[in-house]
Structure 1
Amino acid sequence: MTLMHPKRREDGSPEPIHHPSLPSPLAAWLDPAQHATVLPEGPVPAGLNGIPFTPWQDAPHSDAGWANVAGQDGDGFTEPAFVPAPGKRVAAGVVIEEADGRVWVVHPTNGFGGYPATFPKGTQDSGVPMRATAIREAFEECGLQVVLTGFLADVDRSRSKTRYYLGRRVGGCPAQMCWESQAVSLVPRAQLAAALANQNDAALVALLQAAPGSLRSPR
């Protein structure tokens, strides 16, 4: 029997999960050295690192709402001008580092696009700033509410040029991921290369593994 994602697509149609991910024990979430994974609407601890896991109830529901979403200038950072790549979509994403040093990643449903795991990202919609796009994708694909803390890198991918920001979690719940994700994980930085096997993520993984300590800007 095929497992169906508990969240439906935008058109109301169901999304099958052909090769479900496996959840981790709840204890893994509380150990910074362990890789922790939750499935859609699966169990998670009440919170982590002093921040509860509670659904983001007042998340925006329109492009206009997302365009003005809070958290786009969390630490007052600046960023270089973005130069689009000819023939490629413009996209934005965010690398969310937890206070214990682990990093949040998503597992696209059925390995969409050849990604067993990746960082949350998505195509920029007209009228929605890149920073707001990154926050939206973190919510849709991870279930998390984030504040952006800095610019990380611009990466040429197979079908897009993507601007990546750094971010920190301020709310939300990973079990509330949308149909695009079949699991969400919290991964120690040293294990990212093994978890993110697609070469399009290699440059970001190298940046994260080369940087000493936390990449997050001071609060």
Structure 2
Amino acid sequence: MTRHPHSDHLGQPVVLRRPSTPTALPAWSAAEAIATVVPGGALPATLNGIPFKAWAGVPRDDAGWHEVTGQAAIAEPPYHCPAGQHAAAGAVIVEEDGRVWLVAPSNQFGGYEATFPKGRVDPGASLQATAIREAYEESGLQVAIVAHLLDCARSQTYTRYYVARRVGGSPALMGWESQAVHLVPLEQLPQIAWHANDKVVIAALRAHLVC
């Protein structure tokens, strides 16, 4: 067991019962390889021309997050959250080399070994702002919205997913909700993000990338 460098939302320590294993640095530059980093782990200085470094302008309060950069005027359908479910949003972050970013929830929270960053919408926040915030908090990455991907029901939420691209940040600075961040080739996503709830997201991403 090991302790996550960040405390949880109540200020309590997060003990990782089965810590993830990082990959060697060469995996980050190999587009056909899965690359994994753990909290505070080693990374190359840059990837695909974008540095890995802390997001200097990260918002410090809810008002800042509501106006966060990276939101975009894209075509997206009206959002209708069904009764009994919570509104949520997430980001499917596609790297320049074609790989896709996943987060490993701490202690496999919710039964997920790896998944796409997402979370519930706070009062007053937009779906896009929520997706950007959740991507940062769970993966340490600063992202920009590229396109609407799909809306889908999960166990307790109705989630709008956006395709996004990395524009900054560092996955080694992931928040307490994640014990690792992975960069995964598209064809290997079903083996890594194997939870049933993610199958429809992966299928939608494949269709989007073909268009």
Partner of 2:75: 78
Of stretches 203-212 and 12-21 in structure 1, the one that deviates more from structure 2 is 203-212
Q: Provide the secondary structure at the position in 1 that maps to 2:65.
A: helix
Q: Provide the secondary structure at the position in 2 that maps to 1:192.
A: helix
How far off its partner does 1:41 sit?
A: 0.6
1:38-67 deviations in Å (ceiling 9; x for gaps): 000100100100000000122012111100
| 1:197 equivalent in alignment to 2:198 | no
Matched residues, number: 211
Q: Provide the secondary structure at the position in 1 that maps to 2:131.
A: helix
Partner of 2:12: 13
Partner of 1:167: 164
Q: Provide the secondary structure at the position in 1 that maps to 2:179.
A: strand
1:89 to 61, 86, 91: 86
* TM-score normalized with structure 2 length: 0.97
1:85-117 deviations in Å (ceiling 9; x for gaps): 211110000100000000000000000001000
Q: Provide the secondary structure at the position in 2 that maps to 1:191.
A: helix
Q: Give me the whole-angstrom Cα distance separating, in 1, the residues matched to 2:152 and 2:99.
A: 22
Partner of 2:24: 25
Q: Give me the whole-angstrom Cα distance separating, in 2, the residues matched to 1:151 and 1:210.
A: 12
Q: Give me the whole-angstrom Cα distance separating, in 1, the residues matched to 2:208 and 2:186.
A: 10
Superposed, 1:1-219 pairs within 5 Å as: 2-73=1-72, 76-212=73-209
Q: Provide the secondary structure at the position in 1 that maps to 2:43.
A: coil
Q: Give me the whole-angstrom Cα distance separating, in 2, the residues matched to 1:180 and 1:84.
A: 25
Identity of aligned residues (%): 50
Question: C-alpha root-mean-square deviation of aligned residues, in Å?
Answer: 1.1
Q: Provide the secondary structure at the position in 2 that maps to 1:117.
A: coil
Give the gaps of 5 or more residues in structure 2: none
* TM-score normalized with structure 1 length: 0.94
Q: Give me the whole-angstrom Cα distance separating, in 2, the residues matched to 1:202 and 1:86.
A: 23
